[in-house]
Amino acid sequence: MSSIRQYHHHYHLSYSTTLKRHFSSVGVVIFILILILFFAFQFAAPQKTIDFTHISLLDIIFASFKTLFRLTSAYFLSLLVSIPLAIFITSTQKTERIFLPIFDIIQSIPVLAFFPIVVLVFITLNFTEGAAIFILFMDMVWSLVFSMIGGIKTVPQDILNAASIFGARGVKKLIYITLPSIFPYIITGSLLAWAQGWSILIVAEALHNYVPNGSPANDLFGLGTLLVNSFYQGKNSLFLASLATMIIIIALLNFFIWQKLLSSTERYKFD
């Protein structure tokens, strides 16, 4: 009877684990499909001409999607760049001694200092979306890089020695050792990166205020543009509606994504 109970308990745990993994996999697939549809919508949707005399709730929703597209693009680009960059910087004591101060100086330079690059490259090519994403990227990437560097340096030497003994090198070490070890730091760095992105959003979208000889035609339709232009034109209702929309989006992202991810990081911390 005892063995039957043990078998039933083991079966129940195995079945529950299988179900959790199944639903987790389904959740990942659904999330990827939503991202694909989201990005497809952004590329397919035409750039909207801003007419502040006829801004509806649908326009504010449309602007929110445009803004989220730029922030999400800049974030994933930052993530792709920061992981190999952080690993490279911490690969040896020599590279850390040389490159860490260099990148520390670069991240201290205000984002507005990179506007000549924006003007010369993106505006000249009439690729204003790229200009906005580049500005957001330059403001977001360093929070991730330095957070990951701190995470890599906290990995216990015993873990690294065990990885070496079992032949975990290259991509295998990255997947099974490095990324799980620095996952909590990736999440905290991501929170900081998104906060930086929101703070520079108006600059990234309302380009004509910062580009020499710029005009409102250089602006990108989004929440940042709605905020700055509605404020300048004294349209208080539009300003408050845009601000409320931004606050709601930030709160929803924080509750449904970042808080969940922060809770999951407890499993990856070293005791």
pLDDT in tens, 61-118: 999 999 999 999 999 999 999 999 999 999 888 999 999 999 999 888 888 888 778 8
Name the average pLDDT for the chain: 79
Query: How confident is the model at residue 18, as a pLDDT?
Result: 42
Least confident of 34-38, 132-136, 153-157, 204-208: 34-38
| CA dihedral of residues 174, 179, 182, 188 (deg, nearest 10) | 140
- pLDDT (average), residues 179-198: 92
Question: Nearest-CA neighbor of 37 among 69, 8, 80, 81?
Answer: 69
pLDDT tens string 128-150: 888 899 999 999 999 999 999 99
- CA 163 to CA 160: how far, in whole Å? 5
Q: Domain 55-268 sits in which CATH superfamily?
A: MetI-like (1.10.3720.10)
Per domain, the residue ranges of the chain are 1-44, 55-268
Angle at 75 between CA 180 and CA 98, to 5 degrees: 70
